[in-house]
Chain A
């Protein structure tokens, strides 16, 4: 936090400690293992000194001082625990408990409440007062935020996190004195980004979550740290799960331990939109089309039907008879397995996915310079950021938060180029509002082409402002250039080439879904093998797969759908995607196409299928995911839904029925008898503990054909850029991958990139099945929150 590394030494409770000059006493103590209690102090937020809990005795000062406002000084002598200090803290709690209701048994925060902990520590449980406590009815501010006023201790953490971190400023303080109350921006309700940061940061149970409210107690849940399945930022989320009739139900999402790349940040999707997991529409058993209608069937029946038809089509048409479409939300292992299955078992290069960014061009542009790919962590400290296209507030909320925090805490300079008025504009140093089709021209302008400047100036930003911005940019070092799907192909190449003239420059390419980057890295392309390896360089892969891989490029997504419509594609295998909705294919338009779909819900695509297999989602399986910056993280099973199986298991089982030895797909222990359920367990919590134990003991099971770790092994061996530290990954940290470094890529048709254009309150097909996302007012009534900042 403090750049000045000059150390000062001081004495706290007789212990000599040292800390960088300028550190606050409370932080210095914490770093040395001396805990000083506080309600209002929160690292990274502005100082309040309102709760008076962190008082300490500092020699030569007349009164007790608040440790949260005093910076360390050379030779300072501090007493943090003494009768006087304890008494002062106890009295503060006593005074506070005068009005705080003692409804801990029903309070959601009971068991994880800071006030409760401190009352236990300082022993102020007995009240001196006889007067009645002030009572006010609980208020519902939004479907996800409830406010119980009497419980509020007015630490103002919510007000600050909403304003300073989120830049929403939806909360404030009304009235004064004992009538002070936290109030929402709309009088009786909130209209905001609904991120729920205020709930998580509340030290007591005043702000509670609509999703979790009164459902269970903190110690009754299992807590599983995994990766959010929504956008491409890959936030770590800790899911609280409890037993339910049909497996394990997720009841809470947060990241209070601040582990992972996102610290304690989560947006509405990460915090609440896990509820699709228990949606009543979820498929519980396989469906097979009989007499023109999808009817429930047994797993055996479903696998037999698929295997029989797949084998027949393979014999009749060869690999060209298949089209395979992968998902942007399945794990790396599943994506890798899918392409391996398509290429080595089905024998086809007709494989694609929903592309949301031009990763192949990015990899090609960065070839040989892996260190120039930015991690999400690079946005926390870098002194300058250039954002071209995209709206991170909506599509990459964590990136937006990292940028805001960097600007606020470290004074980073933010430059924005966009065709709309973004909310991040408030943090920007310079803002170029350009025409929608002007990105290519802007990049040319950056390169020195002054002729296009007049075409870029469109009434919002004039020529002089553009010139000034370019001038400022040219002086920046340690610049991170981040761009969305607006920058593709040639433009991307030019931009990266231009950027390389800055020292210490890094780049990031923004794709939309949780594992969009993983799908690209794992080779879900008709003309690229994993790691953006051209088909011609298939050597390693062909040797490992023990099969001759198809040489010529296959059909892309659009061509596959067209072929299926024209009756020229006998079989299609869709894993966790909804291409028919995107290409607006109506029921009955597919001709002579045997369609197999693995999905959670009966989507438009699934409704056309001949066989539908109920799949588990990313919260219900283990594996790894790569976020759009290339940070690899481990996914752990949290929820469990009876009837659904992970896509990995489904693919292996299909292959098994087709007569393929599972070992040839998943390199699990050769000759070992498989334990067919090992990687899942009866309760996901147990499976998770089991996995952690295995990791801790250094045992890699690889005893099951459904073991994603066996595939991870192969990915690590074969996929360029995936030579990461396993130790770090399994310890729950994010590790950088560098597919870009060795990636050679191939030119892709830019028309195939369809940005999802999700807002904070939508999340592709998944968002349709999240009741919480659909319940907030901001998602409806044509509101787009935050309202765009008008350019002036």
Chain B
């Protein structure tokens, strides 16, 4: 169980019930729970979708695809059943928001599933929880049982003529399953490897039926949007970047934790005000803006950027999943690159050649390099390999491994050169704490 943090700049929408015991249905109802569901039952599907479109809600998993548009791709008529699938396989290093939602507010997720189902015409929902989050399964199962007992899930929900089933499911622990098509394979009981697209899940998904796949945070925002109205939700953030999001601040900051801030919040303020600055007054060396698969920012870059999807995509980079990792001046960037690559090498599903073999070689080369066995051409080889993984792999995992590596080699090449010729690591042994990645 994680301790909760707070800061005056926070705008608490999704996290408004955190720490209030809303995992129990009585408390949840007392705090206004399942009111949105009742409201949604009285709305037409198109009205719900339009409300979500108005809210400018964008997918919180990392890619930032507009949620309302995603829903509208689902065909109205389908011979096969439609499904709602919640991606709770939160494995992106540095990201830890879904677990808080599922721990403190599981009913919001269930309610979100029900509303999404009403919007697209699905009558079954699945909440897929990461294999390592075993303790959350108990909370979620209890919440589902309670919701069923109260008539929010199951036959004739809320006294309407709608039958809706929601199931929980858990994986065996694989980062790859966070990719939506691999998630479906895993849920169907197969090996967690991605599928060929097209067809996209909105048309052919789980067991061949149209499927909406949303992140836990996205789904948890739905009841609030229905309750407060899309326009109000959108007003929290800059245009086209509706609402608030949970930022998971970790690394070398004084006050790490999950903060709910409006989109477009300046990165500098996030580190120095919300996060309370770097311990020991050390200087900033790098920022991971949204989980380990994003381009790393130098201190200069971090100074001038706002945390919203469009600010990042204007730079050809992306905001990611909200896992902000701060690195101080004592961090060895080679070791950091190695730590990231260890993770991706371990998590590669092995399906396609560039990712399977490429991550393994990068890990081996970086290991040797950091241990002092590097030679000149290794630096270019590391860059060459990661450039040739980028965009060549079956799913984004190869890109995720290539992007941080490329940006580290390009932006901190001098640190690689400092490791050459058998020199020991010139930086302090203080590195990014490993448990954060495990």
Q: Is A52 part of the binding interface, using a Cβ–Cβ cutoff of 8 Å?
A: yes
Selected contact of A49 from candidates B345, B352, B358, CB within 8 Å: B352
Q: Is B353 part of the binding interface, using a Cβ–Cβ cutoff of 8 Å?
A: yes
Q: Looking at the assembled complex, report how far the CB atom of A378 sits from the nearest CB atom of chain B, in whole angstroms.
A: 31
A178 touches B357 (CB 8 A): yes
Q: Looking at the assembled complex, report how far the CB atom of B419 sits from the nearest CB atom of chain A, in whole angstroms.
A: 15
Q: Looking at the assembled complex, report how far the CB atom of A315 sits from the nearest CB atom of chain B, in whole angstroms.
A: 78
A98 touches B174 (CB 8 A): no
18 A–B pairs (Cβ distance < 8 Å), ordered by A: A49-B352, A52-B354, A52-B394, A55-B392, A91-B354, A95-B354, A95-B358, A96-B353, A96-B357, A129-B364, A131-B361, A131-B368, A176-B176, A177-B345, A177-B346, A178-B350, A178-B356, A180-B350
Q: Looking at the assembled complex, report how far the CB atom of A418 sits from the nearest CB atom of chain B, in whole angstroms.
A: 31
Contacting residues, chain A, for B364 (C-beta < 8 A): 129, 131
Q: Count how many pairs of residues, one from A and one from B, have CB atoms less than 8 Å apart in the complex.
A: 95
Interface code A164-187, partner B: CB below 8 Å = 1, 0 otherwise?
A: 000000000101111110000000
A: which residues have CB within 8 A of B?
Answer: 47, 49-52, 55, 63-64, 69, 87-88, 91-92, 94-96, 98-99, 128-131, 153-154, 173, 175-180
B365 touches A176 (CB 8 A): no
Q: Looking at the assembled complex, report how far the CB atom of B362 sits from the nearest CB atom of chain A, in whole angstroms.
A: 10
B353 touches A51 (CB 8 A): yes
Interchain CA distance A94-B392 in the complex, whole Å:
14
In this complex, the member of A55, A131, A179 whose beta carbon has the largest number of chain B beta carbons within 10 angstroms is A131
**Whose C-beta in chain A lies nearest to the C-beta of B374?**
A130
Contacting residues, chain A, for B354 (C-beta < 8 A): 52, 91-92, 95
Contacting residues, chain B, for A55 (C-beta < 8 A): 392
Please judge, given known A-B contacts A49-B196, A63-B391, whether A176 and B348 are in contact too, CB under 8 Å: yes
Please judge, given known A-B contacts A131-B361, A131-B364, whether A64 and B391 are in contact too, CB under 8 Å: yes
Please judge, given known A-B contacts A52-B392, A63-B391, whether A176 and B350 are in contact too, CB under 8 Å: yes
A47 touches B392 (CB 8 A): no
**Whose C-beta in chain A lies nearest to the C-beta of B367?**
A131
Interchain CA distance A99-B348 in the complex, whole Å:
16
**How many B residues touch the partner, as a band?**
20 to 34
B357 touches A52 (CB 8 A): no
Interchain CA distance A69-B195 in the complex, whole Å:
11
In this complex, the member of A50, A96, A179 whose beta carbon has the largest number of chain B beta carbons within 10 angstroms is A50
A178 touches B191 (CB 8 A): no
B385 touches A95 (CB 8 A): yes
B356 touches A180 (CB 8 A): yes
Please judge, given known A-B contacts A49-B196, A52-B394, A128-B377, whether A95 and B353 are in contact too, CB under 8 Å: yes
**Whose C-beta in chain B lies nearest to the C-beta of A63?**
B391
Tell me the chain B residues, 393-423 only, with Cβ under 8 Å from chain A: 393-394
Question: Lowest 4 A-B CB distances belong to which pairs?
Answer: A180-B350, A91-B388, A178-B360, A177-B348
B392 touches A99 (CB 8 A): no
B388 touches A50 (CB 8 A): no
A92 touches B394 (CB 8 A): no
A154 touches B350 (CB 8 A): yes
Q: Is B349 part of the binding interface, using a Cβ–Cβ cutoff of 8 Å?
A: yes
A98 touches B196 (CB 8 A): no
Q: Is B218 part of the binding interface, using a Cβ–Cβ cutoff of 8 Å?
A: no
Interchain CA distance A128-B364 in the complex, whole Å:
13
B: which residues have CB within 8 A of A?
Answer: 174, 176, 191, 196, 345-354, 356-361, 364-365, 368, 375, 377, 381, 384-385, 388, 391-394
B352 touches A50 (CB 8 A): yes
Q: Looking at the assembled complex, report how far the CB atom of A172 sits from the nearest CB atom of chain B, in whole angstroms.
A: 8
In this complex, the member of A49, A52, A178 whose beta carbon has the largest number of chain B beta carbons within 10 angstroms is A178
- Label chain A's interface by main secondary structure: loop
A153 touches B394 (CB 8 A): no
Q: Looking at the assembled complex, report how far the CB atom of A465 sits from the nearest CB atom of chain B, in whole angstroms.
A: 26
Interchain CA distance A130-B368 in the complex, whole Å:
10
Selected contact of A50 from candidates B347, B358, B365, B394, CB within 8 Å: B394
Interchain CA distance A35-B377 in the complex, whole Å:
34
Interchain CA distance A64-B174 in the complex, whole Å:
27
Q: Looking at the assembled complex, report how far the CB atom of A101 sits from the nearest CB atom of chain B, in whole angstroms.
A: 14
A176 touches B392 (CB 8 A): no
Contacting residues, chain A, for B368 (C-beta < 8 A): 130-131
Please judge, given known A-B contacts A131-B364, A176-B348, whether A99 and B357 are in contact too, CB under 8 Å: yes
**Whose C-beta in chain B lies nearest to the C-beta of A96?**
B353
Q: Looking at the assembled complex, report how far the CB atom of B336 sits from the nearest CB atom of chain A, in whole angstroms.
A: 21
B353 touches A153 (CB 8 A): yes
Interchain CA distance A92-B346 in the complex, whole Å:
20
- Additional 19 contacts, C-beta under 8 A, given A51-B352, A99-B357: A52-B353, A63-B391, A88-B392, A91-B385, A92-B353, A92-B354, A92-B392, A95-B353, A95-B361, A96-B357, A98-B357, A128-B381, A128-B384, A154-B350, A176-B176, A176-B349, A177-B346, A177-B359, A178-B359
Interchain CA distance A336-B258 in the complex, whole Å:
89
**Whose C-beta in chain B lies nearest to the C-beta of A94?**
B388
Q: Looking at the assembled complex, report how far the CB atom of A185 sits from the nearest CB atom of chain B, in whole angstroms.
A: 15
Interchain CA distance A176-B349 in the complex, whole Å:
5
Interchain CA distance A94-B358 in the complex, whole Å:
10
Q: Looking at the assembled complex, report how far the CB atom of A30 sits from the nearest CB atom of chain B, in whole angstroms.
A: 20
Interchain CA distance A52-B393 in the complex, whole Å:
7
Please judge, given known A-B contacts A49-B196, A92-B353, A131-B361, whether A176 and B391 are in contact too, CB under 8 Å: no
Q: Looking at the assembled complex, report how far the CB atom of B273 sits from the nearest CB atom of chain A, in whole angstroms.
A: 37
Interchain CA distance A64-B390 in the complex, whole Å:
11
B392 touches A64 (CB 8 A): yes
B348 touches A178 (CB 8 A): yes
Contacting residues, chain B, for A47 (C-beta < 8 A): 196
**Whose C-beta in chain B lies nearest to the C-beta of A181?**
B350
Contacting residues, chain A, for B360 (C-beta < 8 A): 98-99, 177-178
A98 touches B361 (CB 8 A): yes
A177 touches B350 (CB 8 A): yes
Contacting residues, chain A, for B356 (C-beta < 8 A): 154, 177-178, 180
Selected contact of B345 from candidates A51, A52, A64, A178, CB within 8 Å: A178
Contacting residues, chain A, for B349 (C-beta < 8 A): 176-177, 180
Q: Looking at the assembled complex, report how far the CB atom of B416 sits from the nearest CB atom of chain A, in whole angstroms.
A: 16
Selected contact of B388 from candidates A63, A88, A129, CB within 8 Å: A88
